[in-house]
Amino acid sequence: MTTQHPAAQVPDQLFADPAAEERWRARFKAPRVSVPEWALDAPDASLYVSNASGVWEVYAWDRAADTHRQVTDRPNGTLHATPSPDGQWIWWFDDTDGDEFGSWVREPYAGGGAAAKALTDVPDGYPAGLEIGHRLVAVGVSTDDGSTLYAHRDGETMRFYSSEDDAGVSALSRDERLLAISHSEHGDSRHPAVRVLASDDFTTVADKWDGEGKGLSALAFSPKHGDTRLLLLHERHGREELLIWDVESGAEQEIDLGLPGEVVGDWYPDASALLIVHFHEGRSSLHRYDLASGELTAVETPPGRIGGAGVRPDGTIEYSWSSAAEPPVVRVRAADGSDGVLLEPPGEKAPGSEPVTDAFVDGPGGRIHALVSRPPGAEGPQPTVFLLHGGPHAADEDRFSAYRAVWLDAGFAVVEVNYRGSTGYGSAWRDAIEGRPGLTELEDVAAVHDWAVRSGLSDPARCVVAGASWGGYLTLLALGTQPGRWAAGVAGVPVADYVAAYEDEMEQLRAFDRALFGGSPTDVPAVYDECSPISYIENVDVPVLVLAGDNDPRCPIRQIENYLDRLAAREVPYEFYRYDAGHGSLVIAETIKQVAIEVDFARRALNLT
């Protein structure tokens, strides 16, 4: 039985100034939309997700009629949906209150029919890929027993692959003869291999694995019928780059773009070119790569972040763009270079915020890149929040963030650290945390913190560490391993007791942890003990706020309660906010409530109220 933990204070408002209060809330409430996805053979049938209703849900956009329809309406929202290639059906993933465990359902694109389970003889589980053809559907399911892949054709469903190791459905060829799957039969789900199967009998056509520590990810087959070329991401040269592999002939074409950083890509509809999204030092850009000539052409956009992009059948490019200062917008770039807004949801636009600047700091593992934001007009050392991103394989970017903006409004400088483990800085940087996760990242955070104090940006007595998911894990670990450095901590949906988290989390994450730690807690107990926040709880001596979802399969609630029970016994000031959802919330009002709790807690901890 767990302790009754002190509830987090929920402020009525953050700012006495009504205009300031309205501004920060408006950034979260402003309607936003994703880049649309369209049906392969009926491109007027498009889908996107939007928060226009106050909850992130799926919408259908019939471009021919220019009508928009809200498809899903669930208490905790819906994010994952795709159209069938003929544009007749909408498939969306149906879980329970954000627990991520469920099944794919489908309903008519035109509406008028209730959603029903799409494949009745496929068991529920965590999603592991979905490919929908005209004649064949392939779907992956992950459970505690491992990964199982199913195919449905001619009214019958068959299981064609099963493994205790992590696996998933990746890509279906245009003529539906070939199916690419990812697998980790070699024991490392963080660096997967690719297998291509014949869809008639699921025999192996080709296998590709680049060896230890070098992952392969199948992105898409060529959009041309009969073309057996598969676009992949590889990391043979120490970073993620593109590769075209003809799976029947075995021929390969490594795409050397001559760009720093890392890339991802997709085909143009006629397979003559690739649309490239390039990431480098916190910013991304768009390019067109001509496969015949090798010419790389920039699709000019201002510095910032590309949040998604695709090429329409007529060659126009639809993409999302934002920067730290400017809210996101979904735009369209015509073949003649003209550019305009594609989708503008009804309602007030989000107020802007402050730009970010770059800091490059020497650290124990090399140069660390951080993004720094200052409150307008700030002079001298500031109270500072170090916002640590999740993942860990992700990165902070020059993108619009209502969350970052409210901390600036509250008078905090904001520092975001792309520590070792982050993506976009090469494979060695990403994989440097293997065998010692958490502690490695925090060495980089400490180096950037030292720089922030030394440079006069941060008041050393008023620094808060905060983050969610992996960032929440790092926050709790920082409070225990770096006492004296932090004045308070804010940990959202964290890993707090790693052994208990491993026992309760979804199997896909257990596989990830085994690859990251070098085994399970039974295999390498000392590593889990060294890297678990609960091991250092006796050192925590500053106020702590923890937020957690009851249905979270990634950072389950029991291990958080274990940590809080131990914290309560030490009489350290702390607060706990528990909510009825999963790994975060898709409900805008709930998000606003949690943000208000976090900022108010930090201000009280630093005596800034």
pLDDT tens, 104-150?
Answer: 999 999 999 999 999 999 999 999 999 999 999 999 999 999 999 99
Pairing between strand 488-492 and 544-549?
A: parallel
Give the pLDDT confidence score for residue 86 in this predicted structure: 98
Percent of the chain's residues with pLDDT above 70: 100
Q: Which helix (DSSP H) or strand (DSSP E) does residue 478 occupy?
A: helix 470-481
Average pLDDT over residues 342-357: 94
Q: Mean pLDDT for the chain?
A: 97
Distance in angstroms (rounded) separating the CA atoms of residues 463 and 407: 13
Give the pLDDT confidence score for residue 609 in this predicted structure: 80
Give the pLDDT confidence score for residue 3 in this predicted structure: 81
CATH topology of domain 18-26+351-605: Rossmann fold (3.40.50)
DSSP labels, 40-106: TTEEEEEEEEE-TTSB-EEEEEETTTTEEEE----TT----EEE-TTSSEEEEEEESTT---EEEEE
Give the pLDDT confidence score for residue 345 in this predicted structure: 86
Average pLDDT over residues 224-245: 98
Q: Are 329 and 320 in contact (CB under 8 A)?
A: yes
When pLDDT is cut at 50, 70 and 90, the band that residue 2 belongs to is low
- pLDDT-wise least confident of 235-244, 335-344, 465-474, 481-490: 335-344
Sign of CA dihedral 599, 601, 606, 609: positive
Which residues fall within 8 angstroms of residue 344, CB to CB, at 6 or more apart?
A: 329
Q: What are phi and psi of 155, to 5 degrees?
A: 80, 5
Average pLDDT over residues 370-390: 96
When pLDDT is cut at 50, 70 and 90, the band that residue 1 belongs to is very low
Average pLDDT over residues 383-403: 97
3-state secondary structure of 333: strand
Distance in angstroms (rounded) separating the CA atoms of residues 605 and 47: 44
pLDDT tens, 288-329?
Answer: 999 999 999 999 999 999 999 999 999 999 999 999 999 999
Q: Are 405 and 328 in contact (CB under 8 A)?
A: no
Is the bond into 351 cis (omega within 30 degrees of 0)? no
When pLDDT is cut at 50, 70 and 90, the band that residue 548 belongs to is very high
3-state secondary structure of 527: helix
Give the pLDDT confidence score for residue 104 in this predicted structure: 98
Question: Structural domain boundaries of the chain?
Answer: 18-26+351-605, 268-347
pLDDT tens, 395-430?
Answer: 999 999 999 999 999 999 999 999 999 999 999 999
Which residues fall within 8 angstroms of residue 526, CB to CB, at 6 or more apart?
A: none
Distance in angstroms (rounded) separating the CA atoms of residues 211 and 125: 30
Rounded to whole angstroms, the maximal C-alpha distance in the chain is 70
Instruction: Kindly report each contact of residues 250-258 with a partner whose C-beta sits within 8 Å and lies 24 or more positions away, as own/partner.
Output: 250/206, 255/289, 257/287, 257/289, 257/296, 258/296
- Residue 601, pLDDT > 50, answer yes
When pLDDT is cut at 50, 70 and 90, the band that residue 554 belongs to is very high
pLDDT tens, 60-103?
Answer: 999 999 999 999 999 999 999 999 999 999 999 999 999 999 99
Query: What does the block give as tokens for 511?
Result: 């596989």
pLDDT tens, 514-547?
Answer: 999 999 999 999 999 999 999 999 999 999 999 9
Average pLDDT over residues 560-576: 95
